[in-house]
Structure 1
Amino acid sequence: MEGSVSNLEVCNFAYAGKFDQLKQCILSDKSLATKTDQDHRTALHWACSAGHTDIVQFLLNFGVEVNLKDDACWTPLHIAASAGRDEIVRALISKGAELNPVNQNGCTPLHYAASKDRYEIALMLLENGADPNVTDKLDSTPLHRASAKGNYRLIQLLLKQSASTNIQDSQGNTALHLACDEERVEAAKLLVEHGASIYIENKEEKTPLQMAKGSLGTILKRIVEG
């Protein structure tokens, strides 16, 4: 097939949004609904990736397993969250998608929602029981991800859903270290207002205060000293 992403026709139909062809395909051979391709992806993975809600709904109503992992251990929910597909995330959750599945990097869907600033998706995940303090293979939490990017509303949301501010990643950095290093001024202020310590040392024996550039250090000290 031209411009094909997969060695399976049904997966290419799912990715291209060719609903009628996909439906015909599956109704003539039900096993194709869950057949996996060269990346160990099913039609559901590809429909989530391209954002074809109608196809996702059809496959879910057809009874396709919602938590299947591809060769990098991504579930359909990882893919939909990372690609910013709000409606599809809602549909997957309503069909019982696991909220904290981890892929090869140890990341959950919430990690991707946090780093890519997918606010509505992060909210859905958290309201349905996703763990805000889950750590990936580098011991990064979703809060680390959001803080490094300066995703202000997402940081607010994670803090409201009891994300812990002082968890250290494998380099010893807290979310505040990352916000200061990237000069995310508003994010850094918000974290300190919610109890992030300016004095925790990372593996290089640097505190967030030492990493803060320009006037940021003074601002953060002022918040702490009240």
Structure 2
Amino acid sequence: MKKTSGFRSKKGSSPFGSSISPRRDGSHRINFQPGYRTRYKDLGKIHKAASVGNVAEVQRVLFLGKSGLNDKDKMNRTALHLACANGHLAVVALLLERRCQLNLRDSENRTALMKAVECQEEKCATLLLEHGADPNLTDANGNTALHHAVFCQNISLAAKLLSYDANIEARNEDDLTPLLLAISERKQQMVEFLVKKEANVHAVDKMKRYSCSFSF
């Protein structure tokens, strides 16, 4: 079975990436552990400062030219990725003020916005969206930021993404729209929210099942 979203749980510390396996009813089970596993020695100077929220050090490193604003580490993470994953809003604001690139991708093709959503750092996600981050880019498994919000069952973040034109009918590599994902993962409150937002209740998954054919 191919890999899917790599969604991870809020307090997990496992490396990113996960496998998917079917339940008896044909729905999906996803191991969900947010954030990044970081090895300090692998990080550049700006990445180290951003990952711990040290605004002054980020400023110093940039002033001295010891790191570039958009430099990537060994896992293609920028300072923005690390600041968002760890909820360091002041660092995010500084990087945006310096006009960092918003939509660069890490080794799993995830943007900083996806990491902010995955880690449920809503203030960071909101700031990125306000500065033009694209909510419809997809990661290595075809998931958009909205798919990540659905799996976390974070309705507030989902609403924020939709207010910035996130595609409510986007499909990941398993052919799941956000609504189909919410149904297959039994996220009832999210299902109700997406239906109210006029998600297509007649969407069909790879097994040719309609949304209305699922049961909790």
Q: TM-score range by the shorter chain?
A: 0.7 to 0.9
Q: Does 1:37 align with 2:73?
A: yes
Of the three residues 109, 112, 115, the one matched with 1:79 is: 115
Give distance in 1, aligned partners of 2:63 and 2:182.
43
Give distance in 1, aligned partners of 2:131 and 2:158.
18
Q: Write out per-residue CA displacement over residues 12-64 of structure 1, whole angstroms, 9 at most, x where no aligned residue.
A: 22112222212211122175211111111100000011111110011001100
State the shift of 1:152 in Å.
2.7
Q: Write out per-residue CA displacement over residues 94-132 of structure 1, whole angstroms, 9 at most, x where no aligned residue.
A: 110111001110110000100111111100001111111
Of the three residues 185, 188, 193, the one matched with 1:152 is: 188
Give distance in 2, aligned partners of 1:106 and 1:3.
27
The residue type paired with residue 168 of structure 2 is: P
Distance 1:128 1:5, change over 3 A: farther
Give distance in 2, aligned partners of 1:4 and 1:144.
39
* Contact 1:111 1:142 (8 Å CA) reproduced: yes
The residue type paired with residue 132 of structure 2 is: G
Corresponding residue number in structure 1 for 2:102: 66
Of the three residues 93, 110, 114, the one matched with 2:146 is: 110
State the shift of 1:136 in Å.
0.5
Q: Which runs of 5+ in 2 are unaligned?
A: 1-37
Give distance in 2, aligned partners of 1:151 and 1:5.
39
* Contact 2:153 2:187 (8 Å CA) reproduced: yes
* Contact 1:147 1:176 (8 Å CA) reproduced: no
Query: TM-score when scaled to structure 2?
Result: 0.77
Q: Does 1:139 align with 2:175?
A: yes
The residue type paired with residue 207 of structure 2 is: Q
Corresponding residue number in structure 1 for 2:163: 127
Runs of 4+ in 1 over 3 A off after TM superposition: 173-177
Distance 1:175 1:23, change over 3 A: farther
The residue type paired with residue 119 of structure 2 is: A
Query: TM-score when scaled to structure 1?
Result: 0.74
Q: Which has the higher helix share?
A: 1
Q: Write out per-residue CA displacement over residues 125-146 of structure 1, whole angstroms, 9 at most, x where no aligned residue.
A: 0111111111001101111222
State the shift of 1:176 in Å.
4.3
Q: Write out per-residue CA displacement over residues 134-166 of structure 1, whole angstroms, 9 at most, x where no aligned residue.
A: 100110111122222332332222112221112
Corresponding residue number in structure 1 for 2:129: 93
- Secondary structure of the residue aligned to 1:33 is coil
The residue type paired with residue 32 of structure 1 is: G
Report how many residues are paired: 179
State the shift of 1:169 in Å.
1.8
Q: Does 1:163 align with 2:208?
A: no
Of the three residues 30, 36, 45, the one matched with 1:9 is: 45
